[in-house]
Amino acid sequence: MAFSYKPLWKLLIDKEMTKKQLMEVTGISKSTMDKMGRSEQVSMDIIDRICSHFDCNINDVIEHISDGGKR
């Protein structure tokens, strides 16, 4: 199971906001932002902070990438 933060990166572009600005307004650490940049999992608390800031849904921040049913 994999997730992508591409919707978040697009949202930042649309809002003319940098990753650094997002970190400042949400309290997200650089290491967490780095994880997101590598498409690694972060806590739901982080996703909640982002969704709350932008008043958006989770699918506006992350998307699930199907592994084709492999386990």
From first to last of the 71 residues of the chain, give the pLDDT tens digit: 588 999 999 999 999 999 999 999 999 999 999 999 999 999 999 999 999 999 999 999 999 988 765 55
Describe the crossing of helices 30-37 and 19-26 by its angle, rounded to 10 degrees.
Answer: 130
In a domain, 56, yes or no: yes
State the CATH number of the domain containing residue 13: 1.10.260.40
* Residue 71 belongs to a domain: no
Please report how the helices 19-26 and 44-54 are oriented relative to each other, as an axis angle in degrees rounded to 10: 100
Tell me the whole-structure pTM to 2 decimals.
0.86
Neighbours of 39 (CB within 10 A): 13
| 61 class by beta-carbon count within 10 Å (0-12 exposed, 13-18 middle, 19+ buried) | buried
Is 8 among the domain residues? yes
Asked if residue 70 is part of any domain, the answer here is no
Give the bridge partners for 63, in sequence order.
4
Note down the domain range covering 34: 2-65
Helix (H, G, I), strand (E, B) or coil at 61: coil
